[in-house]
Chains A and B, each alone.
Chain A
Amino acid sequence: MTALRRRKGKKPQNSEPQSEENKEKKSNETEECSNTENLNLNPGCSSSSSTSSSSSRRRKWSCVDSCCWFIGCICSLWWFMLFLYNAMPASFPQYVTEAITGPLPDPPGVKLAKEGLQAKHPVVFVPGIVTGGLELWEGHSCAEGLFRKRLWGGTFGEVYKRPLCWVEHMSLDNETGLDPPGIKIRPVSGLVAADYFAPGYFVWAVLIANLARIGYEDKNMYMAAYDWRISFQNTEVRDQTLSRIKSNIELMVATSGGKKVVVVPHSMGVLYFLHFMKWVEAPAPMGGGGGPNWCAEHIKAVMNIGGPFLGVPKAVSGLFSAEAKDIAIARAVAPGVLDMDVFGFFQTLQHVMRMTRSWDSTMSMIPKGGDTIWGGLDWSPEEGHACSSKKKKNGQTSGHNKTGDLANSVRIKYGRLLSFGKDVADLHSSEIEMVDFRGAIKGNNLANITCRDVWTEYHDMGIGGVKAVADYKVYTANSILDLLHFVAPKMMKRGDEHFSYGIADDLDDKKYDEYKYWSNPLETKLPNAPEMEIFSMYGVGIPTERAYIYKFSPATECYIPFQIDTSAEGGEGGPCLKGGVYSVDGDETVPVLSAGYMCAKGWRGKTRFNPSGIRTFIKEYRHAPPATLLEGRGTQSGAHVDIMGNFALIEDIIRVAAGATGEEIGGDQVYSDILKWSDRIKLKL
């Protein structure tokens, strides 16, 4: 009531002068009342008659009043709920879940703790691209107040508040691939770097929590956070990240009584750690000077999760037109949204492209091994793959009818990573007219300086160049490299210094001591560590991008001249072709071939890539979407990031960390056709 009184007390001041006007206004108010009457939403009208003295005054603030009332109501309700939520015992959600879905299985950590497992080997996590947090250490004036705040990861609040500033800070220098002058973005360090990518979106958190259950803590877990934007060797040059990882592994081995570490890299971290293993044994100054036995002395096992050993086709489309399946769909559904020029500065894709093209690391994931691995114009290792049966497999649990519809499915030419037009994608190679683009003159500039400051190298490429690219029609893994060199010469020049995509003929060649080869498993030997174990753990059963059908963008001022042809569907490609993308089995990002080949064949036994005969294991996890909403992202997911919450995978990791060997956790576990596909690849081993 006091509030009411205050309200009354306040009003007279502003309404008194108007009280004389009331009579004149009456007629207006009548209208007001009758107007709002339809909506039945006029408290002022009603309350005017309620309190006899201030009826006319009420009218004045009826609209604001009801707004305030409404907001207050919502707020109070919200607070009340919040209070209830806070007062709720922590075990309540679990209780509800159990009531609905029946008793949940114990999380693997709890289960294994009951079995008596204890922390034994220190664990090192190597996060992948994108998932690690980045924070600001020095910035331009537009980034004031963001010191040591996350620019990448966390809530991404700054993307919306100052998008251009954000893009500017996240980009690297075009020439050097390092920080632009005056900007310092550094990786967040510690477990917090990649436990959650955004609030509620776990990456490593579930694994960490489960490891903690059997006794792991900060002293025997280490997150090897690095700046995932720059090339692997540059992380050492700029931040000494590799030295830091080396020192930390040595420290953990020393303080845990000589127990070797178990390394768990994820996604691009797999390549990064491959690079690390070569770096650490190479002599200083290029390497870490750890001596030829460093890996044998310090590493028990490398448990690669979803490792893009041989690259990811997605990277090609990402570099070529800054789009992947999801973006292509967004474009199809709402054409124009992404290309909008409404705000003058809102050229989303162009900005994204400019930013990602300045990141060297994306080039580490261009498909490696060329046509030998990824297939030529008329051949590819996965060609018998049938997508329709996969759908069914998803629902069921076993895929026994895999071969059933193999006969009538058309052989998709996955080897053609890029084709211009759907018809070209289906034709036999002899029928395609290819005009070589390599010598093409790039001609006059497509759109000169009209495109403001968005820098993509397409501006340097004239119409002639664009046309030449399209005239070549079809690109395989080999010619893709030439294509990228053609459309983005500067970027590729930078990238060529740090990465290589070929297959080594003679691994003992002196040139392979160069660090650019270290992250390519086909151009390096594994370290001399016969007791080490390498696991390849990845999800299967999700359609994964493998090849693309492109078309010209509708000609406008200054866009990326190519885009995925989302209209290309079905037809001869069968269900594997959707929205211009041919998909194949994998974990939604990495195709099975890339994740599994090295462990299935390339490194199996004593080969030239694996001279000391390190044992390799393939652990596949079939994707099963979460049964109910309550499960969140699922405990049996096989997706590239969600697999980090897969109970079976976590259990395997914990067992190995607690001392088990690859045989003890069951050896290979294969659901896909990876072994068959590997056999089709003719690579000298």
Chain B
Amino acid sequence: MATPAAPASGVRNGAGPEWGGFEENIQGGGSAVIDMENMDDTSGSSFEDMGELHQRLREEEVDADAAAAEEEDGEFLGMKGFKGQLSRQVADQMWQAGKRQASRAFSLYANIDILRPYFDVEPAQVRSRLLESMIPIKMVNFPQKVAGELYGPLMLVFTLVAILLHGMKTSDTIIREGTLMGTAIGTCFGYWLGVSSFIYFLAYLCNAQITMLQMLALLGYGLFGHCIVLFITYNIHLHALFYLFWLLVGGLSTLRMVAVLVSRTVGPTQRLLLCGTLAALHMLFLLYLHFAYHKVVEGILDTLEGPNVPPMQRVPRDIPAVLPAAGLPVTVVNATAKAIAATLQSH
């Protein structure tokens, strides 16, 4: 059977789109039907498909004009004109709708995809980085490598939140229920993000070679020491033990961070400024976490029961709501004032 497509291919020379064969044989805008079918497909929500379709339609129009100029048969011109106009309008509408939808979805998902490379870690890597965060490396002549990932630091911040809740709840069950979660989350995230930004700003002033991501990761892993110390000392309430751990574990993780920063800074004054600030903030934060939350409770319990209760025998108990009844603002900053207020209230 002879192929009727031969004259069509002779005219078009393979320069047009792939639907060339149908166009010549089916009346009434055959390729328009096919184009519409293509549009009705799921490609309405696909950016690339619409762009490709739009491009193809533009190419088709150009080809149609070029072919019409050579072609003497007016029937083909009429068909192409009809197809071009209708399908162009529909294509434009679909293009606009698809573009709007795609840009909305993209702006939603793009925020996640920006962070995706920072979560590309293996459990073995996280484990080794956790252990390395306690081991200072004395190499100050070449910049030490800092892993730029956010999974470990984020998980450590959440773990610190959980440990703080554990510590707060075993001592103080009723009084500050409403703000317990908020205080813990605010403290931990505020420290991680705030101190990282502040040290990054100082690093910018001191001309240190460290990026914001690296600073976030470094400080995040530095919280591992805090987690260990607080976990142990919230369960064993010995002050001497706490001081020992504070110096040892806190000191090691601080030294590690300081060594990294020293290796990336030039000049003794800059090194002193940067590392002194970081060391002071890191060690003081651990002190604050242990004593601020601890002291408030101790103050209240001492007032209510008398000072002869040894610290090891605390169990969850009903503590009458002294402070809210007095209408005093509940903050954990000034423990002495609270103890005094509680004393005054109970008299």
| A and B co-occur in one complex | no
